[in-house]
């Protein structure tokens, strides 16, 4: 079965069980300062897990593009991916454990026809925060999971939360037995010898963990499930790695044809990082030195490095992307529309990297020789940092270079320097998830509405073709990216600021309504990715000056906002400008 067939089967199954299908949200969260990328299907749904009414009802199913880069250095082995698709089904205060487990069991055994003896499940063992999940175990038994195939684990394995704070709860995970011999008599699903592969995770989300680590009950009991599409495709096709499935194979084959040196890990890294970069760029990401732009830069630069190792002409990037677009456009139609931008962005970044690569490699060679002369086998962290800061070398590139020369690098020291640097620019990636889940306070709400006002003001000042390209809100300020081909003049900035303040003074009403996407478009409502919205959407209107698709929250009247002030206007990336503003 091909990946797209698994996706379609999944959506159809859950539709038949009363779920409405919602499309994948973009990889780059809109109006969400909390995360770099969408890392799980639950993320775009957080407001609804917390109790807000979802326009599509209480049973939803979706396929969500996700990027997780915490294991970026593991990519190259037989399973790690940075981009993947997660299939999910959702109960927002609707069904709970029994129905959720029964549906999962039926989908796996009847729809995908996985023999029941290949399935094992794990449930929460219980602790002082939450009781042992006997109900989940009972439900599995009733559904048909075999005796001896149910395991109990603690929070490390059977509890799910995104980050440190937010909606969470015990989960139950499903494992597929690959048929590999057990590594020991104790081998069980928690073992990572490769015999058991996790295929699906159902989270019974009934708690909220606050920033002090305290749990409280949510207003409703939810179910959040996630099934990794690449992994399921690999297992059902009896392949050993996702790279052997149709999702990667055509590009892997092309790399093999083009390479002059045969390195399987490098081929996987190139194939994986190019696919991930392509998806990020497609959703509006651009390489830069901070936050998600930097993650993208790392992915591209690492892919380039490994193309060099394979001795493949870097101009082949466009051929490889062409193959991906052709093969994946049925699953991700947005790829075809954005092919030119994707290739142009990759080529530009590749060119930048090539320029610094030579200098950087010389600098690295010097540092390495110094170390060797002094009889050291470890390269200082500040060398790694300098290579990163001055030559744009992602640290893992330096680490790889060192390893090729039988040297180590002091990554701990690098991390320290890197963190200091990140904190200085106040863009620390690690803090990210926290901010957003908590970030719907009074002040953030004001900034949300001010964002819509600024969007409208820029249209007046710079023309109707000016659109939002990104936004980020913290308690201290708002940041707004938009397309514009020039640096705004002082006059333009002043005019935009005055307009926003004028609208605030007018104390315009902010109203919200639900409507069909079609009506929303007809009414001229503004939004960043129209194709990503479900059929029914929420539209916020401010007086007669702004109408936008948005999840909120917003103030009731613009007068609540205070005084709006533009602090800075600068370039964000090619053709995109960025305004930082505050309200006081």
**CB 179 to ligand SER: min, Å:** 24
Task: Tell me the pairing of strands 119-124 and 150-153.
Answer: parallel
**CB 228 to ligand SER: min, Å:** 8
**CB 24 to ligand SER: min, Å:** 13
In the 3-class helix/strand/coil scheme, how is 315-361 assigned residue by residue?
A: HHHHHHHHHHHHHHCCCCCHHHHCHHHHHHHHHHHHHHHHHHHHHHH
Distance CA 244, CA 233 (A): 10
Which 3 state secondary structure label does DSSP give 217?
strand
Can residue 201 be called a binding residue for ligand SER (CB under 6 A)? yes
Strand runs labelled E in 210-344? 215-228
For ligand SER, the binding residue among 42, 125, 145, 320 (CB under 6 A) is 42
Strand runs labelled E in 419-561? 468-473, 478-483, 510-516, 536-542, 546-549
In b/e form, how buried is each residue of 257-266, taking b as 16+ CB within 10 angstroms? ebbeeebeeb
Residue nearest to ligand SER (CB): 226
Instruction: Name the one range near ligand SER by CB under 6 A: 36-44, 320-328, 452-460, 568-576.
Output: 36-44
For ligand SER, the binding residue among 33, 41, 55, 189 (CB under 6 A) is 41
Can residue 160 be called a binding residue for ligand SER (CB under 6 A)? yes
Can residue 29 be called a binding residue for ligand SER (CB under 6 A)? no
Instruction: Name the one range near ligand SER by CB under 6 A: 224-232, 251-259, 291-299, 387-395.
Output: 224-232
Task: Give phi and psi for 506, each to the nearest 5.
Answer: -70, -10
Distance CA 297, CA 305 (A): 12
**CB 204 to ligand SER: min, Å:** 11
Nearer to ligand SER by Cβ, of 162 and 279: the residue is 162
Can residue 40 be called a binding residue for ligand SER (CB under 6 A)? yes
CB 23 within 8 A of CB 533: yes
Instruction: Name the one range near ligand SER by CB under 6 A: 220-228, 386-394, 516-524, 552-560.
Output: 220-228
Nearer to ligand SER by Cβ, of 44 and 394: the residue is 44
**CB 213 to ligand SER: min, Å:** 20
| C-alpha 150: how far from chain center | 31
Nearer to ligand SER by Cβ, of 19 and 254: the residue is 19
**CB 40 to ligand SER: min, Å:** 4
**CB 199 to ligand SER: min, Å:** 11
CB 555 within 8 A of CB 452: no
Q: CA 259 → CA 14, 248, 275, 308, 324, distances in Å?
A: 44, 16, 18, 9, 18
Can residue 55 be called a binding residue for ligand SER (CB under 6 A)? no
Can residue 89 be called a binding residue for ligand SER (CB under 6 A)? no
CB 533 within 8 A of CB 514: no
Can residue 61 be called a binding residue for ligand SER (CB under 6 A)? no
Can residue 163 be called a binding residue for ligand SER (CB under 6 A)? no
**CB 93 to ligand SER: min, Å:** 17
Residue with tokens 């037989």: 78
**CB 172 to ligand SER: min, Å:** 11
**CB 88 to ligand SER: min, Å:** 5
For ligand SER, the binding residue among 226, 293, 392, 470 (CB under 6 A) is 226
Omega cis (within 30) before 177: no
For ligand SER, the binding residue among 55, 88, 287, 436 (CB under 6 A) is 88
Instruction: Name the one range near ligand SER by CB under 6 A: 29-37, 218-226, 247-255, 351-359.
Output: 218-226
Can residue 130 be called a binding residue for ligand SER (CB under 6 A)? no
Residue with tokens 């990210």: 432
Task: Tell me the pairing of strands 536-542 and 510-516.
Answer: antiparallel
Distance CA 150, CA 121 (A): 5
Distance CA 551, CA 546 (A): 15
Residues 284-303 that bind ligand SER (CB under 6 A): none
Instruction: Name the one range near ligand SER by CB under 6 A: 8-16, 146-154, 223-231, 485-493.
Output: 223-231
Q: CA 569 → CA 248, 287, 448, 486, 503, distances in Å?
A: 41, 19, 19, 11, 21
Distance CA 105, CA 99 (A): 10
Number of Cβ within a 10 Å radius of residue 309: 18
Instruction: Name the one range near ligand SER by CB under 6 A: 35-43, 179-187, 329-337, 488-496.
Output: 35-43
Can residue 203 be called a binding residue for ligand SER (CB under 6 A)? yes
Can residue 501 be called a binding residue for ligand SER (CB under 6 A)? no
Nearer to ligand SER by Cβ, of 202 and 471: the residue is 202
For ligand SER, the binding residue among 100, 225, 449, 468 (CB under 6 A) is 225
**CB 357 to ligand SER: min, Å:** 36
Residue with tokens 């029914």: 536
Interacting residues with ligand SER (CB under 6 A) = 40-42, 88, 160, 201, 203, 224-226
């Amino acid at each position: 079965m091909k990946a797209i067939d698994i996706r379609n089967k999944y959506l159809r199954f859950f539709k038949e069980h009363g779920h409405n299908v919602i499309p994948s949200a973009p990889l780059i969260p809109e109006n969400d300062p909390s995360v770099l990328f969408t890392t799980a299907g639950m993320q775009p749904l957080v407001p609804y897990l917390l109790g807000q009414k979802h326009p599509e009802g209480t049973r939803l199913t979706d396929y969500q593009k996700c990027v997780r880069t915490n294991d970026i250095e593991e990519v190259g082995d037989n399973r790690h991916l940075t981009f993947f698709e997660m299939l999910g089904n959702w109960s927002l205060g609707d069904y709970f454990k029994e129905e959720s487990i029964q549906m999962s069991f039926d989908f796996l055994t009847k729809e995908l026809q996985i023999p029941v003896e290949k399935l094992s499940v794990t449930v929460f063992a219980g602790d002082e925060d939450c009781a042992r999940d006997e109900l989940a175990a009972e439900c599995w038994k009733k559904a048909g999971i075999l005796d001896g195939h149910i395991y109990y684990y603690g929070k490390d394995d059977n509890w799910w939360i995104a980050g440190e704070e937010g909606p969470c709860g015990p989960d139950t995970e499903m494992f597929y037995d690959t048929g590999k011999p057990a590594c020991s008599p104790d081998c069980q699903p928690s073992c990572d010898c490769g015999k058991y592969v996790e295929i699906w995770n159902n989270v019974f989300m009934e708690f909220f963990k606050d920033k002090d680590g305290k749990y409280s009950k949510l207003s409703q009991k939810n179910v959040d499930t996630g099934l990794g599409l690449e992994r399921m495709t690999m297992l059902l096709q009896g392949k050993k790695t996702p790279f052997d499935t149709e999702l990667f194979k055509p590009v892997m084959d092309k790399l093999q044809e083009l390479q002059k040196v045969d390195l399987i890990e490098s081929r996987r890294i190139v194939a994986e990082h190019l696919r991930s970069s392509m998806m990020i760029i497609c959703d509006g990401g651009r390489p830069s030195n901070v936050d998600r732009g930097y993650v993208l830069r790392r992915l591209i630069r690492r892919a380039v490095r490994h193309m060099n190792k394979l001795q493949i002409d870097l101009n082949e990037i466009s051929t490889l992307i062409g193959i991906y677009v052709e093969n994946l456009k049925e699953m991700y139609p947005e790829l075809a529309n954005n092919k030119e931008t994707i290739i142009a962005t990759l080529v530009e970044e590749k060119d930048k990297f090539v320029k610094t690569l030579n200098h950087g490699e010389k600098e690295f060679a010097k540092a390495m020789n110094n170390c060797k002369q002094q009889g050291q086998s470890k390269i200082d962290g500040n060398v790694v940092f300098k290579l990163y800061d001055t030559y744009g070398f992602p640290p893992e590139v330096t680490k790889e270079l060192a390893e090729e020369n039988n040297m180590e690098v002091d990554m701990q020291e690098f991390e320290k320097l890197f963190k200091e640097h990140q904190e200085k620019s106040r863009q620390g990636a690690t803090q990210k998830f926290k901010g957003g889940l908590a970030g719907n306070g009074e002040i953030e709400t004001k900034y949300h509405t001010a964002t819509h006002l600024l969007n409208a003001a820029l249209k007046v000042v710079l023309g109707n073709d000016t659109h939002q390209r990104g936004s980020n809100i913290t308690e201290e300020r708002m940041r707004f990216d938009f397309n514009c081909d020039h640096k705004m003049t002082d006059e333009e900035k002043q005019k935009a600021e005055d307009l926003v303040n004028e609208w605030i003074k007018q104390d315009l009403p902010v109203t919200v309504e639900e409507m069909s996407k079609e009506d929303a478009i007809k009414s001229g409502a503004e939004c960043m990715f129209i194709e990503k919205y479900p059929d029914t959407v929420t539209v916020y209107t401010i007086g007669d000056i702004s109408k936008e698709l948005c999840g909120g929250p917003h103030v009731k009247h613009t007068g609540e906002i205070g005084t709006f002030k533009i602090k800075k206007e600068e370039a964000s990336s090619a053709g995109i400008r960025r305004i930082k503003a505050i309200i006081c």
